[in-house]
Amino acid sequence: MKRLSLFVMLLALIFAVVQCGGTAPQPAAPAKEEVKEAAAPAQEEAKEEAAAPAEEAKEEAAAPAEEAAPAEEPAAEEAMTGEEVVVTIGYTASKTGSQEVPSRGQTHGLELWLEQVNQDGITLADGTVVKFEAVTYDDESAKERVQSLYTTLVEQDGADFLISPYSSGLTDAAAVIAETYSKIMITTGAASDETYQKGLTLVYQLYTPASRYLTGAIDLLGNLNPDAKKIAFVFENAKFSTDVVDAAQKYAESKGYEVVLSEGYDSETTDFAPFINKIAAAEPDAVMGGGHFNDGSTFARQLHEKETSVEFLALLVAPPELDFAELGDAALGVVGPSQWEPQANYTPEAAEAAGVAWYGPTVADFVSAYEAKFGEEPAYHAAGGYASGLVLQQAIETAGSVDPVAVQAALDGMNLMTFYGTVKFNTTPESHGLQEAHEMVYVQWQKDSDGNLVKQVVWPVEGQSAEPIYPLAQMP
| 72 lies in some domain | no
Is the pLDDT at 167 greater than 70? The verdict is yes
What pLDDT, on a 0 to 100 scale, did the predictor assign at position 475? 54
CA distances from 25 to 14, 22, 37, 346 (A): 15, 10, 20, 97
Q: Which helix (H) or strand (E) holds 337?
A: strand 335-338
- pLDDT of 74 higher than 80: no
Q: What integer is the mean pLDDT of 358-371?
A: 98
186 lies in the same domain as 90: yes
3-state secondary structure of 347: coil
Identify the helix (H) or strand (E) that includes residue 37: helix 25-50
Q: Which of 151, 146, 154, 135 is nearest to 97 (CA)?
A: 146
- For residue 283, the SS3 value is coil
- Identify the pLDDT of residue 9: 52
In a domain, 384, yes or no: yes
Q: What is the pLDDT of residue 46?
A: 38
Helical axes 239-254 vs 215-224, angle rounded to 10°: 40
Same domain, 468 and 413: no
Let me know whether 301 and 203 are in one domain: no
Confidence grade of residue 77 (pLDDT, cut at 50, 70, 90): very low
pLDDT above 50 for 63: no
How many percent of the chain have pLDDT more than 70? Answer: 82
pLDDT, tens digit, for every residue of 194-237? 999 999 999 999 999 989 999 999 999 999 999 999 999 999 99
Dist. CA 114–CA 91, nearest whole Å: 13
DSSP string, 193-236: SGGGGS--SSEEE-SPPGGGTTHHHHHHHHHH-TT--EEEEEEE
Residues 250 and 360 in one domain: no
Residue 24 reports pLDDT greater than 90: no
Q: Does residue 461 sit in the same domain as residue 374?
A: no
What does the pLDDT read at residue 463? 74
Residue 130 lies in a domain: yes
Residue 56's pLDDT band (cuts 50, 70, 90): very low
Co-location of 190 and 114 in the same domain? yes
Q: Is 51 inside any structural domain?
A: no
Per cent of the chain over pLDDT 90 is 75
In-domain check, residue 178: yes
CA distances (Å), origin 184, targets 124, 174, 396: 20, 11, 12
* Residue 365: count of CB within 10 angstroms of its CB: 12
CB neighbours of 449 closer than 8 A, spacing ≥ 6? Answer: none
Domain stop point among 424, 449, 466: 424
pLDDT over 70 at 52, yes or no: no
CATH label of the domain that carries residue 306? 3.40.50.2300
One-letter amino acid at 107 equals T
Total domain count for the chain?
Answer: 2
User: What values do phi and psi take at 80, rounded to 5?
Assistant: -75, -25
Residues 265, 409, single domain; the answer is no
What single-letter amino acid sits at 43? Q
Do 193 and 114 sit in the same domain of this protein? Answer: yes
Does one domain contain both 107 and 183? yes
Within this chain, do residues 269 and 395 fall inside the same structural domain, yes or no?
no
Burial class (CB in 10 A: 0-12, 13-18, 19+), 105: buried
The parent domain of residue 172 ranges over 84-208+344-424
Distance CA(156)–CA(51), nearest Å, equals 46
Q: Is residue 312 part of a domain?
A: yes
User: Which secondary-structure segment (H or E) carries 151?
Assistant: helix 143-155
Backbone angles phi, psi at 157, to 5 degrees: -95, -10
What secondary structure letter does DSSP report for 435?
B
Say if residues 311 and 471 touch (Cβ distance below 8 Å).
yes
| Count of helices and strands (H, E) across the chain | 15, 16
pLDDT of residue 372: 98
Tell me: pLDDT of 16 over 90: no
Question: Which SS3 state, helix, strand or coil, does residue 411 take?
Answer: helix
Question: Average pLDDT of 322-346?
Answer: 93
Are 246 and 104 in a shared domain?
no
Q: How many CB atoms lie within 10 A of CB 15?
A: 10
433 occurs within a structural domain: no
Look at residue 13 and tell me if it is in a domain. no
User: Are 305 and 451 in the same domain?
Assistant: yes
pLDDT at 3 over 60: no
What DSSP designation does 95 have? S
pLDDT of residue 345: 80
